[in-house]
């Protein structure tokens, strides 16, 4: 019996109703093959092996089934291994609806990449409960309806009812192998076969349209829009639907360069770009010598340097001069130095001056990280915290029968990481070790991450069935917009393992 320990596939009774029957039939066949391999022929040992390896749930189901009646001599008749299999098969396999099974059979289509032999095998499995008199004929008929192989369909239609299913499958396999070999040969040799496409239909060709009126061009006489004024832009020479100003505006990008100053150089040509009229840029109206001037705030510019260089240039811009004056913004006065360059562009205000005037505020400097870390050590630790003054209470439906799901096998190369992750969760008091009998067991699954770490996922399907749901109203977009009305500061928080921070009661 030591060799029987190698068969560890316990049967899962919690599958869906449509899947539990076929899975049970497969499980019994695998067990029979294994018993033959280890040379177990005694019926009593086969019965014991079936009930032991199927699991406790299958054992309880069999005990609840009606046993065979007494014999002629009054003695209790013990079920044989075949009787046991038949009773359990009748329990797990629901009564088949022949019309529904035929519906499934008729809607089975050949999948992409599926061979004709595999498709025929799938159809044969689907035809078991359909009650067909001639199964091979029905399979060939469904291949004609659902196959994506035109060669096989043509072979059936040209056979005149003389072709058998086995002959069709042999021919189809040969055809598929030949097509694969031809493709491999032509690909490796670099030979390509090209054919000319034949198109049917009337082709009138491209119709040229006039840019001014939109009618067919060339005109027989004068253009109808030659002396007409556009109702949109007022320009004479085009209709409103062909407004040239609208076309030119549509071609412009939202982020466009309005002024380009070219600087002459002996070796290279460099360009200085300034963007105007974009309300999305940070700007401020600052009073300079009783003149209100619009400045663009350049937070990357700490101070106005002695030399100003255009983008990717080694030559500075021509400097006209500099002056020092007082500037005012919202009652705050600061004294700074301005430098004037040749050309037309926006006025820039450096970061230091914008800070002195209070136009921009520094929330936290990067240099304060160590100070904040020492001031709030718990916030900068790698451990997961807990939601304060809150415990989540699950409403358990006691009428739902507790179920123990089977343990999922963890790959050997991931077991060490799983043990380390579970120990980390125990140390952080996120999970607790279960001592004593447990009525509900949920298996875990391990998902490898791209960074080499793992994520442990719990399959709580059966546990969720016993939890009563709480209903809450989900806010609409209009509700959220109404609540955000008048707000000027917006933020986004990314919780680190948010579900693990909630304490369960």
Please list, residue by residue across 104-117, b when 16 or more beta carbons sit within 10 angstroms of its beta carbon and e when fewer do: ebeebebeeeeebe
Q: How distant, in Å, are the alpha carbons of 250, 286, 349 from that of 295?
A: 29, 7, 6
What distance in Å separates the CA atoms of residue 261 and residue 272, rounded to the nearest whole number? 6
Angle at 163 between CA 158 and CA 167, to 5 degrees: 120
Listed in sequence order, the DSSP H helices in 242-350 are: 244-251
Check if 274-357 and 399-465 are the same fold: no
What distance in Å separates the CA atoms of residue 45 and residue 47, rounded to the nearest whole number? 5
Q: What is the pLDDT of residue 261?
A: 39
Residue 455 · residue 447 · CB < 8 Å: yes
Q: What is the pLDDT of residue 3?
A: 47
Q: In whole angstroms, how large is the CA radius of gyration of the chain?
A: 40
pLDDT band at 272 (very low <50, low <70, confident <90, very high): very low
Q: Which of 98-112, 177-191, 235-249 is the most confident on average?
A: 98-112
Residue 238 · residue 230 · CB < 8 Å: yes
Query: 187 or 491: which carries more pLDDT confidence?
Result: 491
Q: How many CB atoms lie within 10 A of CB 99?
A: 9
The answer to whether residue 223 scores a pLDDT higher than 80 is yes
Phi and psi at residue 294, in whole multiples of 5°? -85, 125
Residues 6+ apart with CB under 8 A from 326: 289, 333, 334, 335
Residues 6+ apart with CB under 8 A from 79: 47, 67, 68, 87
**Mean pLDDT computed over 32-44:** 86
What distance in Å separates the CA atoms of residue 63 and residue 61, rounded to the nearest whole number? 5
Widest pairwise Cα distance in the chain: 125
Q: What is the pLDDT of residue 252?
A: 46
**Mean pLDDT computed over 209-238:** 80
Instruction: Say yes or no: domain 274-357 is CATH 2.40.70.
Output: yes
Topology classification of domain 399-465? HIV Type 1 Reverse Transcriptase; Chain A, domain 1 (3.10.10)
Which of 92-101, 282-291, 477-486 is least confident?
Answer: 92-101
How do the domains of the chain map onto residue ranges? 2-68+77-92, 98-175, 208-252, 274-357, 399-465
Q: What is the pLDDT of residue 129?
A: 77
What distance in Å separates the CA atoms of residue 38 and residue 42, rounded to the nearest whole number? 12
pLDDT band at 306 (very low <50, low <70, confident <90, very high): low
Q: What is the pLDDT of residue 72?
A: 56
The answer to whether residue 13 scores a pLDDT higher than 60 is yes
Query: 325 or 309: which carries more pLDDT confidence?
Result: 325
Residue 283 · residue 292 · CB < 8 Å: no
DSSP string of 186-220, one letter each residue = HHHHT-----PPP--S----PPPB-TTT-SBSS-S
Query: 378 or 43: which carries more pLDDT confidence?
Result: 43
What size, in residues, is the chain? Answer: 505
Name the residue among 23, 10, 86 with its Cα closest to residue 52: 10
User: Cα 199 from chain centroid?
Assistant: 40
pLDDT band at 229 (very low <50, low <70, confident <90, very high): confident
What distance in Å separates the CA atoms of residue 471 and residue 466, rounded to the nearest whole number? 16
Phi and psi based region of residue 289 (left: phi greater than 0; alpha: psi -120 to 50; beta: remaining): left
Name the residue among 95, 84, 90 with its Cα closest to residue 32: 84
DSSP string of 278-293, one letter each residue = -TTS-EEEEEETTEEE
pLDDT band at 365 (very low <50, low <70, confident <90, very high): low
- pLDDT one-digit tens code per residue, 326-363: 888 888 888 888 888 887 777 888 888 888 888 877 65
Listed in sequence order, the DSSP H helices in 132-191 are: 135-146, 150-157, 165-189
User: Cα 181 from chain centroid?
Assistant: 37
- pLDDT one-digit tens code per residue, 424-449: 888 888 888 888 888 888 888 888 88
Residue 123 · residue 143 · CB < 8 Å: yes
- Sign of the dihedral defined by the CA atoms of residues 95, 98, 99, 103, in that order: positive
Q: What is the pLDDT of residue 6?
A: 54
């Amino acid at each position: 019996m030591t060799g029987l320990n190698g068969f560890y596939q316990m049967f899962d009774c919690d599958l869906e109703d449509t899947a539990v029957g076929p899975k049970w039939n497969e499980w019994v066949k695998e067990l029979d093959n294994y018993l033959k391999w280890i040379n177990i022929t005694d019926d009593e040992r086969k019965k014991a092996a079936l009930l032991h390896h199927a699991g406790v749930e299958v054992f309880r189901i069999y005990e609840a089934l009606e046993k065979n009646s007494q014999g002629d001599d009054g003695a209790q008749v013990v079920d044989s291994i075949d009787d046991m299999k038949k009773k359990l098969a009748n329990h797990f396999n629901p009564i088949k609806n022949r019309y529904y099974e035929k519906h499934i059979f008729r809607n089975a289509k050949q999948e992409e990449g599926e061979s004709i032999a595999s498709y025929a095998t799938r159809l044969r499995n689907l035809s078991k409960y359909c009650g067909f008199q001639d199964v091979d004929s029905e399979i060939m008929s469904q291949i004609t309806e659902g196959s994506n192989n035109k060669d096989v369909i043509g072979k059936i239609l040209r056979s005149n009812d003389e072709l058998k299913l086995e002959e069709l499958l042999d021919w189809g396999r040969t055809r598929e192998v030949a097509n694969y070999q031809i493709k491999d040969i032509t690909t490796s040799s670099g030979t390509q076969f090209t054919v000319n496409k034949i198109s049917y239909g009337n082709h009138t060709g491209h119709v040229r349209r006039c840019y001014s009126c939109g009618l067919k061009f060339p005109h027989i006489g004068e253009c109808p829009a030659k002396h007409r004024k556009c109702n949109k832009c007022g320009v004479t020479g085009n209709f409103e639907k062909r407004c040239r100003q609208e076309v030119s505006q549509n071609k412009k990008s939202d982020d466009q360069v309005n002024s380009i100053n070219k600087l002459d150089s002996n070796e290279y040509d460099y360009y200085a770009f300034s963007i105007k009229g974009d309300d999305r840029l940070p700007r401020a109206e600052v009073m300079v010598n009783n003149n209100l001037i619009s400045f663009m705030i350049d937070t990357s510019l700490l101070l106005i340097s002695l030399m100003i260089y255009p983008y990717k240039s080694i030559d500075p811009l021509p400097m006209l001069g500099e002056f020092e004056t007082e500037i005012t913004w919202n009652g705050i006065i600061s004294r700074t130095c301005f430098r004037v360059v040749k050309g037309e562009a926006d006025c820039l205000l450096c970061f230091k001056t914008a800070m002195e005037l209070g136009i921009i505020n520094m929330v936290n400097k990067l240099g304060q990280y160590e100070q904040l870390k020492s001031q709030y050590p718990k916030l900068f630790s790698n451990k997961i915290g807990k939601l304060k003054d809150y415990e989540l209470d699950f409403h358990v439906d006691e009428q739902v029968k507790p179920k123990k799901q089977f343990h999922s096998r963890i790959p050997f190369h991931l077991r060490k990481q799983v043990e380390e992750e579970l120990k980390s969760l125990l140390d952080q008091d996120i999970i607790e070790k279960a001592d004593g009998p447990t009525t509900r067991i949920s298996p875990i699954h391990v998902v490898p991450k791209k960074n080499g770490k793992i994520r442990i996922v719990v399959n709580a399907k059966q546990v969720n069935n016993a939890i009563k749901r709480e209903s809450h109203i989900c806010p609409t977009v209009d509700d959220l917009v109404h609540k955000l009305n008048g707000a000027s500061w917006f933020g986004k928080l990314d919780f680190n393992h948010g579900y693990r921070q909630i304490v369960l009661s």
